[in-house]
A and B are shown apart, each in its own frame.
Chain A
Amino acid sequence: MTFLVEHGPAIAIAIPFLAAFTVPLVAKLGGRVRDGCVVLSLALTEFVVLMLAGDVLANGVRTYALGASVPSLTAPAGFPVRIILEVDAMSALISLVAMTIAFLASLFSLKLIPAKEGLGKFFALFLLLSAGMMGMCYTGDFFTLFVFFEIVSISSAGMISFFRSGESFEAAFKYMVISVTAGLFLLFGVGILYGNYGMLNMAAIAGEVAAGHSLLDVAAISLIASALLFKSGSFPVHMWKPDVFQEAPANVVVMILTSSLVGLYVLFRILFTVFGTVSTAVAGWLIVALGAVSIIVGVLMAMPQRNLRRMIGFVAIAEIGYVMLGVGTGLVSMQPVNAFGVNALSGGLFHIVNDALNMSLIFLAACAVAYITERRDLSGVGGLAHRSAPLAVFFLIGLLAISGIPPMNGFASKLMIFESVFFLNPLLSVIGITGSILMLAVFVKVFVALFLGTPYEGKLRKTPKTMLIPMFVLSVLIILLGLFAPFAVDTLITPAAQALLDPQAYIGGVI
Chain B
Amino acid sequence: MISLHFLFVIVLVVLGLSAVVFKRNMIKIVMGLNVIAGGVNLFLISMGYRQGAVAPIFTNAPDLLMVLPTPQALTLTAIVINLTVTALMLSFIIMLYKHYRSLDSFKRRLLG
| Chain A contacts to B: CB under 8 angstroms | 143, 146-147, 150, 153-154, 157-158, 161, 164-167, 169-174, 176-177, 180-181, 183-184, 187-188, 191, 194-195, 200, 242-243, 246-247, 301, 305
CB within 8 Å of A: which of B1-29?
Answer: 13, 17, 20, 26, 29
Are B47 and A191 in contact, with the CB atoms below 8 A? yes
Are B20 and A170 in contact, with the CB atoms below 8 A? no
- In the docked arrangement, what's the CA distance between A353 and B78, Å? 32
Q: Chain B: which residue is nearest A175 at the CB level?
A: B92
Q: What residues of chain B lie closer than 8 Å to A247, measured between beta carbons?
A: 110
Are A180 and B85 in contact, with the CB atoms below 8 A? yes
- In the docked arrangement, what's the CA distance between A247 and B29, Å? 22
Q: Is B40 an interface residue (CB 8 A)?
A: yes
Q: Chain B: which residue is nearest A194 at the CB level?
A: B47
Q: Chain A: which residue is nearest B84 at the CB level?
A: A154
Are A176 and B44 in contact, with the CB atoms below 8 A? no
Given contacts A184-B33, A195-B47, A169 and B40 within 8 Å (CB-CB)? no
Are A147 and B99 in contact, with the CB atoms below 8 A? no
- In the docked arrangement, what's the CA distance between A180 and B92, Å? 14
Shortest Cβ distance from B34 into chain A, in angstroms?
10
Are A176 and B36 in contact, with the CB atoms below 8 A? no
Q: What residues of chain B lie closer than 8 Å to A305, measured between beta carbons?
A: 112
Are B33 and A166 in contact, with the CB atoms below 8 A? no
Q: Mark B95-112, 1 if CB is under 8 A from A, else 0.
A: 110011000000011101
List 6 A-B pairs, minimum CB-CB distance, nearest first. A166-B99, A195-B47, A173-B92, A243-B110, A191-B44, A169-B95
Are B95 and A164 in contact, with the CB atoms below 8 A? yes
Are B43 and A188 in contact, with the CB atoms below 8 A? yes
Q: What residues of chain A lie closer than 8 Å to B64, measured between beta carbons?
A: none
- In the docked arrangement, what's the CA distance between A150 and B100, Å? 28
Q: Is B55 an interface residue (CB 8 A)?
A: no
Shortest Cβ distance from B24 into chain A, in angstroms?
13
Q: What residues of chain B lie closer than 8 Å to A164, measured between beta carbons?
A: 95
Are B110 and A173 in contact, with the CB atoms below 8 A? no
- The residue that A187 contacts in the complex, of B20, B40, B93, B96, with Cβ under 8 A, is B40
Q: Chain B: which residue is nearest A240 at the CB level?
A: B110
Are A169 and B84 in contact, with the CB atoms below 8 A? no
Q: What residues of chain B lie closer than 8 Å to A172, measured between beta carbons?
A: 92
Q: What residues of chain A lie closer than 8 Å to B53, measured between beta carbons?
A: none
Are A181 and B36 in contact, with the CB atoms below 8 A? yes
- In the docked arrangement, what's the CA distance between A195 and B89, Å? 31
Given contacts A150-B85, A191-B40, A246-B110, A169 and B92 within 8 Å (CB-CB)? yes
* Majority secondary structure of chain B interface residues (helix, strand, loop or mixed): helix
A sample of 29 inter-chain contacts (CB < 8 A) reads A143-B74, A147-B81, A154-B85, A165-B99, A167-B110, A169-B92, A169-B95, A169-B96, A170-B96, A170-B110, A172-B92, A173-B26, A173-B92, A173-B96, A176-B89, A177-B29, A181-B17, A181-B20, A188-B13, A188-B40, A191-B71, A191-B74, A194-B44, A194-B71, A194-B74, A242-B110, A247-B110, A301-B112, A305-B112
- In the docked arrangement, what's the CA distance between A164 and B85, Å? 18
Question: How many B residues have CB within 8 A of the partner chain?
Answer: 32
Shortest Cβ distance from A506 into chain B, in angstroms?
22
Shortest Cβ distance from B56 into chain A, in angstroms?
15
- The residue that B20 contacts in the complex, of A153, A166, A177, A242, with Cβ under 8 A, is A177
- In the docked arrangement, what's the CA distance between A157 and B81, Å? 14
- In the docked arrangement, what's the CA distance between A195 and B43, Å? 9
- The residue that A150 contacts in the complex, of B47, B71, B81, B110, with Cβ under 8 A, is B81
Shortest Cβ distance from B45 into chain A, in angstroms?
10
- In the docked arrangement, what's the CA distance between A184 and B17, Å? 11
Q: Is B67 an interface residue (CB 8 A)?
A: no
New A-B contacts (17) at CB < 8 Å, excluding given A166-B109, A169-B99, A188-B43: A165-B99, A169-B92, A169-B95, A169-B96, A170-B109, A171-B110, A173-B26, A174-B110, A176-B85, A177-B33, A181-B20, A181-B33, A183-B85, A188-B40, A191-B40, A195-B47, A301-B112
Shortest Cβ distance from B97 into chain A, in angstroms?
10
Q: Mark B28-43, 1 if CB is under 8 A from A, else 0.
A: 0100010011001001
- In the docked arrangement, what's the CA distance between A147 and B82, Å? 11
Q: What residues of chain A lie closer than 8 Å to B61, measured between beta carbons?
A: none
Q: What residues of chain A lie closer than 8 Å to B44, measured between beta carbons?
A: 187, 191, 194
- In the docked arrangement, what's the CA distance between A171 and B108, Å? 10
Q: What residues of chain A lie closer than 8 Å to B77, measured between beta carbons?
A: 143, 147
Q: Chain A: which residue is nearest B36 at the CB level?
A: A184
Of residues B47, B84, B85, which shows the largest number of chain A Cβ atoms within 10 Å of its Cβ?
B85
Q: What residues of chain A lie closer than 8 Å to B93, measured between beta carbons?
A: 173
- In the docked arrangement, what's the CA distance between A170 and B109, Å? 8
Shortest Cβ distance from B99 into chain A, in angstroms?
3
Q: Chain A: which residue is nearest B86 at the CB level?
A: A180
- In the docked arrangement, what's the CA distance between A423 and B99, Å? 53
- In the docked arrangement, what's the CA distance between A503 and B44, Å? 28
Q: Chain A: which residue is nearest B110 at the CB level?
A: A243
- In the docked arrangement, what's the CA distance between A177 and B40, Å? 16
Shortest Cβ distance from A44 into chain B, in angstroms?
28
- In the docked arrangement, what's the CA distance between A173 and B96, Å? 9
- In the docked arrangement, what's the CA distance between A200 and B77, Å? 15
Q: What residues of chain B lie closer than 8 Å to A154, measured between beta carbons?
A: 84-85, 88
- In the docked arrangement, what's the CA distance between A386 and B30, Å? 50
Shortest Cβ distance from B17 into chain A, in angstroms?
8
Q: What residues of chain A lie closer than 8 Å to B100, measured between beta carbons?
A: 166
- In the docked arrangement, what's the CA distance between A173 and B108, Å? 11
Q: What residues of chain B lie closer than 8 Å to A143, measured between beta carbons?
A: 74, 77
- In the docked arrangement, what's the CA distance between A304 and B58, Å? 65
Q: What residues of chain A lie closer than 8 Å to B78, measured between beta carbons?
A: 146, 187
Q: What residues of chain B lie closer than 8 Å to A174, measured between beta carbons?
A: 110
